[in-house]
Amino acid sequence: MQHYSLLDLSPVPEGKTAGDALANTIDLARKAEVAGYHRYWLAEHHNMPGIASAATSVVIGQVAAATRSMRVGAGGIMLPNHSPLVIAEQFGTLATLFPGRIDLGLGRAPGTDMATARALRRHLSGEDNFPQDVVDLIAYLDDPSEGGPVRAIPGEGTHVPVWILGSSLYGAQLAAALGLPYAFASHFAPTMLEEALDVYRRTFRPSAELAAPYAMVAAGVFVADTDAEARYLRSSQVLSFARLRTGRPGKLPYPVDNVADEIPPPVLAQVNHALSVSATGSPETVRRELGAIVERYQPDELIVTGMIHDHSARVRSFQLAAEVLGDLVDGTRPLAREA
């Protein structure tokens, strides 16, 4: 493993506001940079009371301005919600303001319900335009073409690194065909992880962007002084995920001592499977569990995430995780076109 990174959904805890969540994101980003995280990604979600990163490119700009050297980007932008030109202009502007520090991860899902997807795009086509949209977006970020009828300004010539995100074989196949880095959403959808990594690595075609496959795996992480305390902190995310699964999305719940008392057994079993690529416990326990994830999946990079109700506890969890992750880094082949 070459790097460790952090995915932040800007969670809005119960009793707090979206403004609090965004302030927490800025604070966490500054401390993540000090802790050695390689990149800090934010994700696009809409119509979700517990997530404040809907205007993802705006939040990325604020995080980049608040930090100095850490890479900042989208994990990801849900491209079906946008025109490729608009995203090229947004991320081209970010890359112009913060040269060599911006990443653009692209997802195929809308990141919301279908009614909200219609409100975002105004129309929904039955066609799958995602592969062509990715190609068009990369072209907008490529070297300037004076004869081109449409140009992204800012954007052209910035060569913002584009990633394909996914939780199935589709994204793995597309990333391999286009020769792009690939990030798997195993922090909430681990079922196809092993097969997707195999497909991506086995069918990868070298490109101008990347000479060899580069795979990122996502994992949940919750670290505290004791295993019991870490499980208590994690209960907020388990409750939140269960409520989302049962059609009751809301702000990030307060933690509880026993989630089994709060969630029906069939739902809890589904949630435990969805969140199974994770490490929870004391630093010693998390070292063992993250080490097992790295050993099994051999990621080039591990990106960790975790929604904890108390901000100070969340910051400390990621700081303790960084100490563990630093020991797992071997620092081999760098990712092409990265500063």
**Which letter does DSSP use for residue 205 in this model?**
-
Domain ranges of the chain: 3-328
Cα distances (angstroms) measured from residue 182 to each of 9, 58, 241: 19, 24, 25
| Nearest alpha-carbon partner for 65 in 108, 112, 106, 22 | 22
Counting Cβ atoms within 10 Å, is residue 143 exposed (0-12), middle (13-18) or buried (19+)? Answer: exposed
Distance of CA 20 to the CA centre of its chain: 21
Cα distances (angstroms) measured from residue 104 to each of 41, 170, 241, 246: 9, 18, 26, 31
Distance of CA 252 to the CA centre of its chain: 18
pLDDT confidence of residue 336: 65
Contact 143, 156 (CB under 8 A): yes
pLDDT confidence of residue 337: 63
pLDDT confidence of residue 262: 94
Contact 38, 71 (CB under 8 A): yes
pLDDT confidence of residue 264: 95
Rg of the chain, C-alpha, whole Å: 19
Question: In this predicted model, what pLDDT tens digit does every residue of 92-139 receive, in sequence order?
Answer: 999 999 999 999 999 997 656 667 777 776 555 656 789 999 999 999
- Determine the Cα–Cα distance for residues 92 and 79; give it in Å rounded to an integer: 15
Contact 290, 328 (CB under 8 A): yes
- Determine the Cα–Cα distance for residues 339 and 335; give it in Å rounded to an integer: 9
CB atoms within 10 A of CB 125: 8
DSSP-assigned states of every residue in 232-268 = HHHHHHHHHHHHHHTT---SBPPP-S-GGGTS-HHHH
pLDDT confidence of residue 121: 66
**Which letter does DSSP use for residue 334 in this model?**
P
Contact 8, 41 (CB under 8 A): yes
pLDDT confidence of residue 339: 43
Question: In this predicted model, what pLDDT tens digit does every residue of 32-55 receive, in sequence order?
Answer: 999 999 999 999 999 999 999 999
> Which CATH number, 3.20.20.30, 3.40.50.300, 3.40.640.10, 3.10.400.10, labels domain 3-328?
3.20.20.30
> In which residue ranges of the chain is pLDDT below 50?
339
